[in-house]
Amino acid sequence: MKIEYGMALWEGIPCLQVSQKRLEEFTPKLWKAQEWLEDLCNKGEVGFMDLPFQDPAYIVELGEKVRDRSQHFVLIGIGGSSLGAETLFHALKGPRHNDHPHRDGPTFHVLDNVDPVKTAEILSSIDPGKTCFCVVSKSGSTAESMANFLVSLELVEKTVGRDKAREQIIFITDPEKGSLRELAREEGYRALEVPPNVGGRFSVLSAVGLFPAAVLGLDVKALLAGAARALEACKTRDPETNPAWVIAGLHYLHNTLEGRSISVMMAYHERLATFTDWYRQLWAESLGKEGKGQTPVKAVGTVDQHSQIQLYNDGPKDKIITFLQVERFARDVRIPPLYQDRPALSYLGGHTLGELLNSELVGTASALAKKGVPSLVVTLPRVDEEVMGKLFMVYEMATALSGYLYGINPFDQPGVEEGKRLTYGLMGREGFQEKGREAREIWEKRRGARVSL
């Protein structure tokens, strides 16, 4: 894995203010950021950096058991409780896994929303008696996941009875607190742990991501080894060898010096599109605080060349782009040399789709550079567990270090609480009546102006 960023610097694009020198001048901040983070880690307040060194034996063993015994696997979680596993699933199994005629292991489904049509369709596509349901919620009170849990529980109980239902449900939750932990204690559900000092969006390398990975038959050890290797690099104090520093420093400088308030991550491989969703959560929820932060935007090449590139090239100069490039695809497809007499078709024959895809990346990045739009290129030799482990850790470390640069706490999310309280009120949860009234009053204001058709 490498990160090339000559096109995000003045040396490569002379209209930029961010230069190698500026990044170097900024380096003492790196040391302070590292110290701050190590200190949080040593005090036990922040735990994601410990995860690569855990022993995953129990998680893997349970995962393999479920893999052997289940025809279907339904992950119930939302945000940080599902995005890591979904990223691994899409990157390493792909969206057509469930239809694959020679699939080994269970089908994989995610109930990450309370969209009734989605939940109904997923639950009616599985055999409830042959399904493992994994409910992930650190707090044990996430409304969406609790609702999908109750719906699923009723379905399984109706199919196999109360006791057997409990064998088919596994929780991943706080080791001590919350209603899922209580239920595990009192009703005999099995439960894995989310370490208390690991927040949802930093939890992919805990049981939250590893257990589903094991159910899918992925190489959990390689994932952790990749993360460990990346962590080592991200702990160096040399900006020239520290990938997290490069990402954090460049994004911070482009944001604060040049007003680049949008960070686009554009994946030139559809298998990595869900990684950009994972990144979106990490970057937005960690850094969007106190009026600061950068809006992360998901893009997919080549598709979004025909959707967003007009804007990126000629619109406001408010973006920094990260291209994800893959060197070797799991499969490639040769374009046949048909219609060699037609110039709009003939040049394609003999190339592969992979070559075309990566040439489009080069063409797009070069056109953007000509317009003064800065970009980083993250190149992955291939997509496998080790590389995914590296990617996760590099971006987690980049996000943590960015928190220090912005002077905010990247590990909390105070701005999501009020919406939850207002929703509790609307749903009639005890103790939140006043919030329900408040929400209805504010919501009424939307009617102040309207148009119907």
Site for a copy of itself in 432-451 (CB under 8 A): 438-440, 442-443, 445-451
Of 285, 385, 386, 396, which residue is the catalytic one? 285
Among 36, 235, 353, 409, binds a copy of itself (CB under 8 A): 353
Give, as ranges, the residues between 280 and 319 that touch a copy of itself (CB under 8 A).
Answer: 280-281, 284-285, 287-293, 295, 297-298, 300-303, 305-319
Give, as ranges, the residues between 312 and 351 that touch a copy of itself (CB under 8 A).
Answer: 312-319, 329-336, 338-339, 342-345, 347-349, 351
Piece of the chain touching a copy of itself by CB under 8 A; list 27-35, 37-45, 114-122, 189-197 = 114-122
Residue number, 68 or 240, with CB nearest to a copy of itself: 240
Residue number, 71 or 241, with CB nearest to a copy of itself: 241
Among 427, 433, 434, 437, binds a copy of itself (CB under 8 A): 427
The answer to whether residue 157 is catalytic is no
Q: Which residues contact 295 (CB under 8 A, 6 or more apart)?
A: 261, 262, 263, 284, 288
Residues 252, 256: Cα–Cα separation, whole Å: 6
Residue number, 192 or 393, with CB nearest to a copy of itself: 393
Give, as ranges, the residues between 238 and 257 that touch a copy of itself (CB under 8 A).
Answer: 240-243, 246
Q: How many chain residues bind a copy of itself (CB under 8 A)?
A: 170
Beta bridge partner(s), residue 190: 170
The minimum distance between CB 129 and a copy of itself, in angstroms, equals 18
The answer to whether residue 285 is catalytic is yes
Residues 52, 385: Cα–Cα separation, whole Å: 13
- Tokens in use for 205? 């390398």
What DSSP string describes 31-59? HHHHHHHHHHHHTTS--GGGGGGS--HHH
Among 25, 39, 127, 154, binds a copy of itself (CB under 8 A): 154
Residue environment code for 238-249, b if the CB has 16+ CB neighbours within 10 A, otherwise e: eeeebbbbbbbb
Among 42, 102, 116, 407, binds a copy of itself (CB under 8 A): 116
Residue number, 170 or 377, with CB nearest to a copy of itself: 377
Residue number, 43 or 451, with CB nearest to a copy of itself: 451
The minimum distance between CB 36 and a copy of itself, in angstroms, equals 21
Q: How far is CA 407 from CA 201, 288, 344, 357, in A?
A: 19, 11, 53, 39
With vertex at residue 226, the alpha carbon angle to CA 230 and CA 355, rounded to the nearest 5 degrees, is: 95
- Residue 432 burial (CB count, 10 A): 19
What is the strand order of the sheet 72-76 is part of? 107-111, 72-76, 131-136, 169-173, 190-193
Q: At what angle do helices 433-444 and 417-427 cross, to 10 degrees?
A: 100
Residue number, 63 or 436, with CB nearest to a copy of itself: 436
The site map against a copy of itself for 360-399 (x = CB under 8 A) is: x-xxxxxxxxxx---x-x------------x---x-----
Give, as ranges, the residues between 177 and 236 that touch a copy of itself (CB under 8 A).
Answer: 178-179, 182-183, 200, 229-230, 233
Residues 113, 121: Cα–Cα separation, whole Å: 12
- Give the CA radius of gyration of the chain: 24
Beta bridge partner(s), residue 323: 266, 377
Phi and psi torsions of 375, nearest 5°: -145, 150
The minimum distance between CB 119 and a copy of itself, in angstroms, equals 5
Of 317, 360, 420, 438, which residue is the catalytic one? 420
Give, as ranges, the residues between 28 and 67 that touch a copy of itself (CB under 8 A).
Answer: none
Piece of the chain touching a copy of itself by CB under 8 A; list 40-48, 50-58, 145-153, 206-214 = 145-153
Among 63, 80, 195, 249, binds a copy of itself (CB under 8 A): 80
Residue number, 41 or 151, with CB nearest to a copy of itself: 151
What DSSP string describes 377-437? EEEESS-SHHHHHHHHHHHHHHHHHHHHHHTS-TT--GGGHHHHHHHHHHHT-TT-HHHHH
Binding to a copy of itself by residue 156, rule CB under 8 A? no
Residues 237, 401: Cα–Cα separation, whole Å: 12
User: Residue 216: exposed, middle, or buried by beta-carbon count in 10 A (0-12, 13-18, 19+)?
Assistant: buried
Residue number, 13 or 205, with CB nearest to a copy of itself: 13
Binding to a copy of itself by residue 15, rule CB under 8 A? no
Residues 412, 136: Cα–Cα separation, whole Å: 19
Q: Supply the residues annotated as catalytic.
A: 285, 306, 420
